[in-house]
Structure 1
């Protein structure tokens, strides 16, 4: 991953952790999501690539998209 400005904030309460992450600009990378998590896209993206258990897909990602992650391996590429 190229050197890019980023912001990552985290707060925890008992068994719940809330994290906010933002990358200024994204190149090639892989980011595995934690198990049992929820995420929301705040900004739209014309094209994103992700995989579940190794099967890749590329799609547009509208702002407000929400994801529920279970026990499967979900990776943003």
Structure 2
């Protein structure tokens, strides 16, 4: 269950928390914002989008690794 929480968090929560607010700022105030703010928001978008991709790949690898080690019947 924890692996699917990792996948859900990396795929959805990182973009919702970090990428979309910067995109909204650029959409609303993009033409009137100063260059420093635009650069900061674009760097947030790029950095956290890359982070979301990397953590999603990592979460999928964890799921694949756990599926390979999983046995349906426990040895008890």
Shorter-chain TM band: under 0.3
Larger Rg over CA atoms: 2
* TM-score (ref. length: structure 1): 0.20
The structure whose residues are more often strand, as a share, is 1
Q: Which has the higher contact order (CA 8 A, sep 6+)?
A: 2
* TM-score (ref. length: structure 2): 0.21
